[in-house]
Amino acid sequence: MTTAILSVGSNVGDRLAHLAVVVGGFTAPGDHVVAISPVYVTPPWGGVEQDDFYNIAMIVTGRRDGSSWLRRGAELEAAADRRRDVHWGPRTLDVDVIAVRDDSGRPVFRATDELTLPHPRAHERGFVLIPWLAIDPTAVLDLPDGSSPAVADLIAALNPAERSGIETLGAEPPWRLGAVR
């Protein structure tokens, strides 16, 4: 059994519906959604002109390894007709595996062409860290160098421009945790 932190975003089409598909998509037999953050409206990252994103973080558990979490996210992206035409460009759905812990609670480190754990840029992205902190106020990002900075400290260390413009949507999302268990 592993626990994964997922970062999910959408800025094309019905953004809330795309996020809801991911929430439902991680409720397959053997998977369990532990927590879902509020929806955050976030400015696009990476310098490509596009609409704002809706982002959430999720904590999920199941009998998957890091690659299996990534494959499930990719299946959901494909079902949402995700296109990869422009690096950091607009997308119907983006599901990133940020961090994974094994059944003993130890962090999983991995560096392959397919997957790097923890996500190599998670520490510099407010749209990942802020929703994650909302569902786990004691969260830490375990790094391969043996350090484990608190997510709250990583947020505080971000350039203010990386934090600005990230706000909760303010509307109740179309899912409830009890409904996805």
Task: Say what the pTM is.
Answer: 0.91
Q: Where are the domains of the chain?
A: 2-173
- HEC assignment per residue over 70-126: HHHHHHHHHHCCCCCCCCCCCCCCEEEEEEEECCCCCECCEECCCCEECCCCHHHCH
Per-residue pLDDT tens digits for 149-180 = 999 999 999 999 888 889 998 877 777 654 44
Matching CATH number, 2-173, of 1.20.1560.10, 1.10.540.10, 3.40.50.300, 3.30.70.560: 3.30.70.560
Per-residue pLDDT tens digits for 62-90 = 999 999 999 999 999 888 876 767 666 68
